[in-house]
Amino acid sequence: MTRPSPHRVSISSRITSRTEAGDPLSIALAPPPNESQDQRARRKALEAEAKRVSDEIDRQIDADAANLKRRRNTTKVLLLGQSESGKSTTLKNMQLTCAPKKWAAERGAWRVVIQLNLVRSVNVILDELGRHTELATRLSPLREVQKDLERRLGASAIEERFVPGLSPVNEDRDKRSSADRRRTECAVRSSEGWKAAVFKIRPSTATSRQSISLEEDETTRVIASCREEIHALWQDKAVKDAVWNRKVNLVDSAEFFLNHVHRVSRRDYVPSDDDIVRARLRTVGVQEHRINFEASLDSGRDLLVFDVGGSRTSRAAWPAYFDDVHAIIFLAPINCFDEKLAEDPRVNRLEDSFLLWKSVCANKLLSSAQLILFLNKMDLLDQKLKAGVKVKHYLTSFADRSNDRATVSKYLKNKFMDICRQESPSPRTPQVHLTSVVDTITTAHTLGYVQDSILKTHLRRVNLL
């Protein structure tokens, strides 16, 4: 009789031999002697259920480990500040700095937004100043262009907001005070959704693709054909004076695009980084952005950034995002010491920033969060001070200090630092940066320092440093 190869011995044979040798584990695992078929079936069912439970536990352990790794590699940051403080501009700078490839891929989508910014600014000026009847007639096609651009952005909301000094064109201005005048502004519900609308998948038929291309070309053609009229309107001294005195209220970026109308209105226009950073598109609600670091040293790390609306109606949603936050970048536009809130003309904008900062510093949920303060719009502060606007007329505690950029910024920095020291549940010192976040080069250096600091603090919190 041929002896079987040792490699062909069955598992049951090995268990039997080990059982005979007195191995306790094998004895425990071996089926009971004289096992009936019913008993064997029940045993197999119990073993299968035990394996299912064991596999489920293993999967949960793996999921928990993956989640822990993801949490360790993800830093949660909140962007806070009043409306038009520069939060979205800061976010765009973060995207440009951390994820330049994705930024470049989305560059073309911003052309529609910038065209809308330019066209809407022209229409606002024409609504408020009736002196340019001839120019208004020649620029009238821009009304339809604005509607077309808003439609192509997939605008899902039109918010009506208070804007001092503005009123719809069909209302009698004499019957309404400047505090009551309103203007609607295009807004979208998702910061990514509008990009999908612009970069939507084209229909498969050549005819449909050609139709869409012709539509886009026609919009650009109309803007290009109005280039000289837009330039003439913007060069009018009465228009410049009205904008400076806020009789015509334009967003901060409007002047930039109007000054560059010959470039922005070109048929072959491609937005620059500076253009995109200045482009304005209002979003409704809280915007969540996951920024994947593309640099090799930081590859695999993410910034989870929440751009939380700064309007008064949006602030109630802030606490829902305070849990487990690693850092807060708070933006305070210090150029607005002589301005009122759009939502409530009784409230000074700088005073509103003080109150918001106080509430953030005092919040116990944020007591362990790193505080980073951007005293923003330094460029506009400088312009205002050089024009002779006196801080002491709006901030009495400033008294007779020198009305220059260095003195004003130092004074306001100390005010914000004092609030943090007085209101924080535990001692902490915020990082303070004087910023003009529309300056991409300087802001890149600032954000590099800030991001490095945030990441190191986060790593210490998860016991990796």
Apex 373 CA angle, 370 and 379, nearest 5: 155
Structure tokens at 153: 């952005």
Say if residues 179 and 347 touch (Cβ distance below 8 Å). Answer: no
Residue 253, annotated as binding a ligand: yes
HSE on the CB side for 424, CA within 13 Å? 17
Joined tokens for residue 35: 């096992």
Distance CA 237, CA 226 (A): 19
379 annotated as ligand-binding: yes
- Sheet-wide strand order for 282-283: 157-162, 182-188, 282-283
Q: Which residues contact 375 (CB under 8 A, 6 or more apart)?
A: 332, 334, 409, 412, 413, 416, 432, 433, 434, 435
Which residues have a Cβ under 8 Å from the Cβ of 400 and sit 6 or more positions away?
Answer: 392
- Written as six digits, the tokens of 118 are 């330019």
Contact between residue 243 and residue 255 where contact means Cβ atoms under 8 Å apart: yes
Q: Does 217 carry a binding-site annotation?
A: no
Please provide residue 353's backbone torsions phi and psi, each rounded to the nearest 5 degrees: -65, -40
At which residue do the structure tokens 């487990």 appear?
A: 324
Contacts (Cβ under 8 Å, ≥6 apart) of 215: 148
Would you say 252 is a known binding-site residue?
Answer: yes
Query: Residues within the annotated binding site for Mg(2+)?
Result: 283
Query: Residues within the annotated binding site for GTP?
Result: 252-253, 376-379
